[in-house]
């Protein structure tokens, strides 16, 4: 199954679970806030991986950090899908952003 079709399915599942009880604007805000929640979890995992809290020491692994980063990524992709409601447009938003980043820093193509 294609990545953006998977994102469409996950997004539809979330919307079906919440759509009947939340106003549209509230649902929009919740999608954006969910990214912050996931970012907090990756931050917590990284602090645990590096042992930066002397009281707790090392509590997480690199794999934990990677899984939390994947959660942030999927949550952000689902938020974009929520706003576009179209897997093709969602993919275009992502690829356009990547192209924009690469165009503003052409030296990266020369060095890599």
User: pLDDT tens per residue, the chain (112 residues)?
Assistant: 788 889 889 988 888 887 655 577 888 899 999 999 999 999 999 999 999 999 999 999 999 999 999 999 999 999 999 999 999 999 999 999 999 998 998 888 788 7
How many domains in the chain? Answer: 1
The pLDDT score that the predictor gives to residue 112 is: 74
The pLDDT score that the predictor gives to residue 33 is: 97
What domain range includes position 89? 3-111
The pLDDT score that the predictor gives to residue 15 is: 83
- Identify which of 37, 91, 94 has the alpha carbon closest to the alpha carbon of residue 68: 37
Q: Hey, how many other C-beta atoms are within 10 angstroms of the C-beta on 81? A: 26
């Amino acid at each position: 199954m294609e990545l953006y079709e998977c994102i469409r399915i996950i997004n539809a599942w979330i919307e079906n679970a919440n759509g009947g009880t939340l106003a549209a604007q509230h649902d929009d805000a919740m999608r954006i806030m969910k990214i912050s929640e996931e970012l907090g979890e990756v931050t917590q995992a990284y602090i645990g991986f590096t042992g930066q809290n002397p009281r707790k020491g090392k509590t997480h692994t690199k794999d934990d950090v990677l899984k939390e980063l994947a959660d942030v990524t999927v949550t952000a992709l689902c938020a974009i899908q929520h706003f576009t409601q179209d897997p093709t447009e969602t993919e275009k938003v992502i690829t356009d952003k990547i192209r924009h980043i690469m165009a503003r820093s052409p030296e990266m193509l020369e060095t890599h």
